[in-house]
């Protein structure tokens, strides 16, 4: 069944995108030798926290990494009304990170596996090289 991503709200795209992106991060951490649960969680937050995701998407925009369609999806995700609230960050950062996740959800629904891998690897490189921090 083909789902029309344009009919989905940004929150639904972000719901899927969160899982897609986090799968890449978890695989990266395990392949990097982190196998203890406490270390996995600690290191994962550098990539998947709302602050890290917001910083990554802002860098993507500054470096024009995203396609025009991906920028539109990001904006739709960022502007979506959520019934949940951020637990460890401010509302603005939380909404920006929701837009980040929406991009990955859109790419998954449109079956763009190569683009997902490209963006995920770009994000991993930014964090690993210290260009993006999970702390603002």
Q: Which residues are catalytic, by number?
A: 18
83 CB-side CA count, 13 A: 3
Give the angle 106-111-112 at the CA atoms, nearest 5°: 80
Long-range interactions of 81-84: CB distance < 8 A, separation 24+: 81/11, 82/11
Number of CB atoms found within 10 A of residue 64's CB: 8
């Amino acid at each position: 069944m083909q789902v029309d991503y344009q009919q989905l709200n940004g929150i639904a795209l972000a719901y899927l995108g969160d899982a897609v992106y986090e799968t890449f991060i978890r695989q990266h951490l395990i392949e990097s030798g982190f196998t203890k649960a406490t270390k996995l969680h600690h290191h994962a937050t550098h990539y998947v926290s709302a602050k890290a995701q917001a910083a990554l998407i802002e860098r993507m925009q500054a470096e024009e990494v995203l396609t025009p369609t991906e920028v539109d999806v990001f904006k739709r995700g960022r502007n979506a009304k959520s019934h949940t609230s951020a637990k460890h960050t401010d509302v603005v950062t939380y909404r920006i990170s929701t837009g980040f996740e929406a991009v990955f959800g859109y790419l998954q629904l449109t079956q763009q596996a190569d683009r997902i891998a490209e963006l995920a690897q770009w994000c991993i490189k930014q964090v690993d090289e210290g260009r993006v921090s999970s702390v603002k």
